[in-house]
Amino acid sequence: MVALTAEKQDRKLLSRIAAGDGHGENSAYFDGWKAYEENSFHPIDRPDGVIQMGLAENQLCGDLMRKWVLEHPEASICTPEGVDQFSDIAIFQDYHGLPEFRQAVAKFMEKTRNNKVKFDPDRIVMSGGATGAHETVAFCLANPGDGFLVPTPYYPGFDRDLRWRTGVNLVPVTCHSSNGFKITVEDLEAAYENANIPVKGLLITNPSNPLGTTLDRDCLKSLVNFTNDKGIHLIADEIYAATTFGQSEFISVAEVIEEIPDCNRDLIHIVYSLSKDMGLPGLRVGIIYSYNNRVVNIARKMSSFGLVSTQTQHLIANMLSDEDFVDQFLRESKLRLAARHAELTIGLDGLGIGWLKAGAGLFIWMDLRNLLKTATFESETELWRVIVHKVKLNVSPGGSCHCHEPGWFRVCFANMDHKTMETALERIKVFTSQLEEESLNRTKPMAKKKKCWQSSLRLSFKDTRRFEDGFFSPHSPVSPSPLLRAQT
Amino acid sequence: MVALTAEKQDRKLLSRIAAGDGHGENSAYFDGWKAYEENSFHPIDRPDGVIQMGLAENQLCGDLMRKWVLEHPEASICTPEGVDQFSDIAIFQDYHGLPEFRQAVAKFMEKTRNNKVKFDPDRIVMSGGATGAHETVAFCLANPGDGFLVPTPYYPGFDRDLRWRTGVNLVPVTCHSSNGFKITVEDLEAAYENANIPVKGLLITNPSNPLGTTLDRDCLKSLVNFTNDKGIHLIADEIYAATTFGQSEFISVAEVIEEIPDCNRDLIHIVYSLSKDMGLPGLRVGIIYSYNNRVVNIARKMSSFGLVSTQTQHLIANMLSDEDFVDQFLRESKLRLAARHAELTIGLDGLGIGWLKAGAGLFIWMDLRNLLKTATFESETELWRVIVHKVKLNVSPGGSCHCHEPGWFRVCFANMDHKTMETALERIKVFTSQLEEESLNRTKPMAKKKKCWQSSLRLSFKDTRRFEDGFFSPHSPVSPSPLLRAQT
Ligand SMILES: Cc1ncc(COP(=O)(O)O)c(C=O)c1O
Ligand SMILES: Cc1ncc(COP(=O)(O)O)c(C=O)c1O
């Protein structure tokens, strides 16, 4: 009691922001990380540990990076070849950033948009990752109480990035599995009309996290037209621009606005980062690219709160201006991502587990709707707990991404080595065959009851029937939705 | 007209924050930087350019840094010795930071506080420089509309850092030259009583920017007691902790709270950074050290918006844990700062120009009150324009630091080489002798009027009398305030 009172007292001394939980970490998305942290998988030390499939990290091309770095000692201010610049670089704190950094990033952004558009280095504003970029954009565009439309499901971090300290709201635009979670103007209109707050913009993620899908040209045009017509902003998070493979074509909003004659570009803003496409999340290189001069000006002033370390700017400037390397890196990265994606999805196909057909991002959107006891988020959470604590795979439940339909899970595949992926697939296989066995046992009620996978669960399952139905079986009559499987 | 309407229209689309000028850059402090940028001094290319004396940068020990870096290739992830860690480091994005980074920073903070206190690595929260740290602390402690007391004169960046995006107010506590700008409890009480808003804390800068002074033990104790009694927070910006020389003794608030038996530590927070003491502002290493558990927890979540690049964390962790190097660096740095400080102040003394006696920081607080036409900030600005545009030295007028008395100027001395300092002193000398000549000419009114330094000014001087009075002369009857000269 005393402690509680002290804590309450303490909270009174702090801001409402600090006393509240708008940081959004009280979600399964982050809980899963904690489970992983407490008992993380290691092939030798903790072979029974949780495998982290909840982290959208690209670790597949570290060797290429390492090779380049060794071949380019001048890119670092900490080598005999580069140290003469140590002082100049370490002291540089202009929020415009190193000119060569902005130039190289602009060029890289062109490359990752298939050289179909030009980016002006003077519009490149840096920030502390896309995380910082989103907050900055929200501070620039909206007042506390205003809202941004966001199609669901969406990246859980948005709740923190755009809302927490800005006081801005996110207005979900409900997308549906029936059409592969496409964003339709009807759904946008509905959300816009029903929002009881001033809507200042639409935030899209293309390619999508968590879906792994890309938006096609017509859709993008309709979104530009919708926002232009309403006179609201369009923010495109294109952090996975080069993280595409297979048949997925990524089209940037930068390209589309060139095809719309009277487009009001003052309403168009792109958020980017090197965290995914280059696999460098630790370096915190975030970018705001706005077509609105005043936003460029103000966002740049705000960037003082999260500038990119000049040591890192210098390295990145050198690395990204080596065009041969960048070309080769992006090519090889796509190949490796495609291979890993195929490994996972072929594995799931073999087990009869559905997933949304897509070819971008660092994850797949897995369909376990058939495994839910009831079509509720409570059931989704129950199933998720089983997957994290028994199957020992930390995947992210769709509910944490504000998905409207329970039963979807995001599974990351690029943050581990091949062996770990094999282990993960093996665990899923064991899990599904246990489910199948349960199902068979149920049909021979007199047989001696075998120790089943739920037996040691300390979760309060009131009804495990749906788990025992064996819908995971490849021979199950209820196969994953063919419509979804046909999506590209 | 059309353009204006378009701009107005444009602003309507943006947030109030973006449409306003709360960023604080519309001040002489920043204008001077612009003048410098447009025509920056270079000994060969632009010998008539503006010398930057408005930047609190420590460039005196770059050679020591460079030497260490060369001797420690393992500290970088971009050398053959360190590259094996490239992937692990570049991918690390935990907002707790690298454990070795937090440990090394805690140790360094102890060293820069003369090893009189311990710092707990688990309380070290990183941020995008002290700039980001201040904003984070403000977001944690105060609601929009609340206020923090801040003794004047203060670092102009605070207006941006603590206020701009948080909606928090700064309530000036007026300090006076008559007692060397000491912070007194009476002045604090007065400001606290007269603030018409909820006061949530007191922000002090120790050592002071712009004064260069340090707070003594009694003063610090009185500030802790004052804030504890009121139940408000005390934020101590100790960014210049190791930037002390001569007789100045720096005492950290961390030390003082140990001497106050019932101190409520939940109200005590330190802001720190490596920008000044290590001369590394480009690397954006900011620190929040709070004794309040909840603030540590929330500030750490907020640090997502401005994490330190892991490439930089790794380098800093290595560098700061080399204790011999740190000891030697800090010792040598103090010696060089003292020498440079002496060079400037002896030069000014020779010209009869007053300055506030102090031995910390990267600047002196120069007293030109006697040169003002009238004791107003308009006159201060006029004089400042002359100094920037004619004498071609970018110093910062006291008004931009919210000084209550016109006529003070902050002059930075550690961001240039010795030759440039000589040039700066030479310019001041020429300026003062011109003033003297003017003064002499005025006494022989019939003599042919010489081309004087004001003649080509395009500034709207209505009355240049005071400038012609020759108060700069060492023989001037109005010498700099002896009281101030006696301060240590
Ligand atoms: C869609 C999306 N936006 C932003 C981010 C944040 O990226 P950064 O590491 O650049 O802050 C992520 C990271 O997962 C993301 O998936
Ligand atoms: C008192 C004070 N606080 C904070 C800062 C900002 O420092 P940083 O470079 O760590 O953001 C400065 C820089 O001049 C300063 O003088």
Write down the ipTM of this complex. 0.89
Among the partner residues A79, A128, A311, nearest to B315 by beta-carbon distance: A311
Mean pLDDT lowest for which of A119-123, A425-429, B25-29, B432-436?
Answer: B25-29
Mean pLDDT lowest for which of A214-218, A431-435, B123-127, B230-234?
Answer: A431-435
What mean pLDDT value characterizes chain B?
A: 89
Strand, helix or coil for residue A378: helix
Inter-chain touch A132–B25, beta carbons under 8 Å: no
| CA dist B183 → A424, B204, B223 (Å) | 63, 9, 9
Question: Nearest residue on chain B to A68, judged by CA atoms?
Answer: B78
Task: Find the mean pLDDT for residues A9-35.
Answer: 83
Angle, vertex CA B242, rays to CA B239 and CA B248, nearest 5: 110
Q: Are strands A147-151 and A199-205 parallel, antiparallel or unpaired?
A: parallel
Q: Is the pLDDT of residue A261 over 70?
A: yes
| CA dist B140 → A14, A16, B168, B235 (Å) | 6, 8, 11, 12
Closest atom of ligand 2 relative to the B155 alpha carbon: 1
Task: Find the mean pLDDT for residues B411-423.
Answer: 97
Task: Find the mean pLDDT for residues A45-49.
Answer: 95
Mean pLDDT lowest for which of A58-62, A152-156, B457-461?
Answer: B457-461
Give the pLDDT confidence score for residue A25 in this predicted structure: 85
| Given A89, A235, A239, A353, the catalytic residue | A239
Active site residue A155: yes
> In angstroms, rounded to a whole number, what is the distance separating the alpha carbons of residues A248 and A254?
18
Q: Is the pLDDT of residue B75 over 60?
A: yes
Strand, helix or coil for residue A307: coil
Among the partner residues B14, B91, B309, nearest to A141 by beta-carbon distance: B14
Q: What is the pLDDT of residues A190-221, one digit of tens each?
A: 999 999 999 999 999 999 999 999 999 999 99
Q: What is the pLDDT of residues B175-230, one digit of tens each?
A: 999 999 999 999 999 999 999 999 999 999 999 999 999 999 999 999 999 999 99
Among the partner residues A59, A70, A139, nearest to B15 by beta-carbon distance: A139
Residue A219 Cα to ligand 1 midpoint, Å, equals 23
Active site residue A239: yes
Q: Are strands B147-151 and B199-205 parallel, antiparallel or unpaired?
A: parallel
Task: Find the mean pLDDT for residues A5-13.
Answer: 67
Q: Is the pLDDT of residue B483 over 70?
A: no
> In angstroms, rounded to a whole number, what is the distance separating the alpha carbons of residues B153 and B403?
4
Q: Is the pLDDT of residue A367 over 80?
A: yes
- Burial label, B390 (beta-carbon count in 10 A; 0-12, 13-18, 19+): middle
> In angstroms, rounded to a whole number, what is the distance separating the alpha carbons of residues B139 and B298?
10
Give the pLDDT confidence score for residue A440 in this predicted structure: 81
- Burial label, B129 (beta-carbon count in 10 A; 0-12, 13-18, 19+): buried
Q: Are strands A51-52 and A393-394 parallel, antiparallel or unpaired?
A: parallel
Strand, helix or coil for residue A357: coil
> In angstroms, rounded to a whole number, what is the distance separating the alpha carbons of residues B113 and B251?
7
Q: Is the pLDDT of residue A116 over 60?
A: yes
| Given A36, A155, A272, A291, the catalytic residue | A155
> In angstroms, rounded to a whole number, what is the distance separating the alpha carbons of residues A150 and B367?
56
Q: Is the pLDDT of residue B127 over 50?
A: yes
| Given A159, A237, A277, A469, the catalytic residue | A237
- Quick one: what percent of chain A has pLDDT higher than 70? 88
Mean pLDDT lowest for which of A133-137, A469-473, B80-84?
Answer: A469-473
Question: Nearest residue on chain A to B146, judged by CA atoms?
Answer: A15
Inter-chain touch A305–B131, beta carbons under 8 Å: yes
* Mutational pocket test of ligand 1: of A162, A239, A289, the residue with most ligand atoms within 8 Å of the beta carbon: A239
Task: Find the mean pLDDT for residues B331-341.
Answer: 97
Smallest CA–CA distance, residue A189 to chain B, in Å, is 20
Mean pLDDT lowest for which of A362-371, B17-26, B259-268?
Answer: B17-26
H/E stretch holding A172 reads strand A169-173
> In angstroms, rounded to a whole number, what is the distance separating the alpha carbons of residues A263 and A58?
35
> In angstroms, rounded to a whole number, what is the distance separating the alpha carbons of residues B478 and B484?
14
> In angstroms, rounded to a whole number, what is the distance separating the alpha carbons of residues A477 and A456?
29
Among the partner residues A231, A280, A310, nearest to B90 by beta-carbon distance: A280
Residue B131 Cα to ligand 2 midpoint, Å, equals 6
Question: Nearest residue on chain B to A142, judged by CA atoms?
Answer: B15
| Given B276, B334, B357, B392, the catalytic residue | B276
> In angstroms, rounded to a whole number, what is the distance separating the alpha carbons of residues A75 and B206?
37
Give the pLDDT confidence score for residue B43 in this predicted structure: 93
| Main-chain dihedrals φ then ψ at residue B364, nearest 5 degrees | -120, 160
Task: Find the mean pLDDT for residues B390-401.
Answer: 96
Smallest CA–CA distance, residue A455 to chain B, in Å, is 36
Give the pLDDT confidence score for residue A326 in this predicted structure: 98
Smallest CA–CA distance, residue B430 to chain A, in Å, is 31
> In angstroms, rounded to a whole number, what is the distance separating the alpha carbons of residues A187 and B336?
66
> In angstroms, rounded to a whole number, what is the distance separating the alpha carbons of residues B417 and B422?
9
Active site residue A276: yes
Give the pLDDT confidence score for residue B481 in this predicted structure: 31
| Given A200, A276, A334, A392, the catalytic residue | A276
Give the pLDDT confidence score for residue B8 in this predicted structure: 65
> In angstroms, rounded to a whole number, what is the distance separating the alpha carbons of residues A459 and A467?
13
Active site residue A288: no
Question: Nearest residue on chain A to B145, judged by CA atoms?
Answer: A15
Nearest to A327, CA basis, from A238, A212, A242, A414: A242
> In angstroms, rounded to a whole number, what is the distance separating the alpha carbons of residues B154 and A320?
41
Query: What residue type is assigned to position B393 of the chain?
Result: L
Q: What is the pLDDT of residues B457-478, one digit of tens each?
A: 222 222 222 222 222 222 222 2
Cβ-Cβ pairs closer than 8 A, A with B, add up to 243
> In angstroms, rounded to a whole number, what is the distance separating the alpha carbons of residues B76 and A88?
17
Q: What is the pLDDT of residues B21-48, one digit of tens each?
A: 899 888 776 777 788 889 999 999 999 9
| Main-chain dihedrals φ then ψ at residue B123, nearest 5 degrees | -100, 0
Angle, vertex CA B398, rays to CA B396 and CA B401, nearest 5: 90
Inter-chain touch B91–A307, beta carbons under 8 Å: no
Tokens of B410: 């902050």
* Mutational pocket test of ligand 2: of B205, B209, B365, the residue with most ligand atoms within 8 Å of the beta carbon: B209
Q: What is the pLDDT of residues A299-358, one digit of tens each?
A: 999 999 999 999 999 999 999 999 999 999 999 999 999 999 999 999 999 999 999 999
What mean pLDDT value characterizes chain A?
A: 89
Q: Report chain B residues whose CB lies below 8 A from the CB of A7.
A: 294
The three-state (H, E, C) secondary structure of chain B, written as one string: CHHHHHHHHHHHHCCHHHHCCCCCCCCHHHHHHHHHHHCECECCCECCCEEECCCCCCCCCHHHHHHHHHHCHHHCCCCCCCHHHHHHHHHCCCCCCCHHHHHHHHHHHHHCCCCCCCCCHHHEEEEEHHHHHHHHHHHHHCCCCCEEEEECCCCCHHHHHHHCCCCCEEEEECCCHHHCCCCCHHHHHHHHHHCCCCEEEEEEECCCCCCCCCCCHHHHHHHHHHHHHHCCEEEEECCCCCCECCCCCCCCHHHHHHCCCCCCHHHEEEEEECCCCCCCHHHCEEEEEECCHHHHHHHHHHHHHCCCCHHHHHHHHHHHCCHHHHHHHHHHHHHHHHHHHHHHHHHHHHCCCEECCCCECCEEEEECHHHCCCCCHHHHHHHHHHHHHCCCEECEEHHHHCCCCCCEEEEECCCCCHHHHHHHHHHHHHHHHHHHHHHHHHHCCCCCCCCCCCCCCCCCCCCCHHHHCCCCCCCCCCCCCHHHHHCC
Q: Report chain B residues whose CB lies below 8 A from the CB of A166.
A: 165
Among the partner residues B139, B231, B312, nearest to A309 by beta-carbon distance: B312
Q: What is the pLDDT of residues B143-185, one digit of tens each?
A: 999 999 999 999 999 999 999 999 999 999 999 999 999 999 9
> In angstroms, rounded to a whole number, what is the distance separating the alpha carbons of residues A201 and A56?
26
Q: Is the pLDDT of residue A283 over 70?
A: yes
Q: Is the pLDDT of residue A438 over 90?
A: no
Beta-carbon neighbour count of residue A75 at 10 Å?
20
> In angstroms, rounded to a whole number, what is the distance separating the alpha carbons of residues A10 and B284?
30
Q: Report chain A residues whose CB lies below 8 A from the CB of B64.
A: none
B396 CB under 6 A from ligand 2? Answer: no
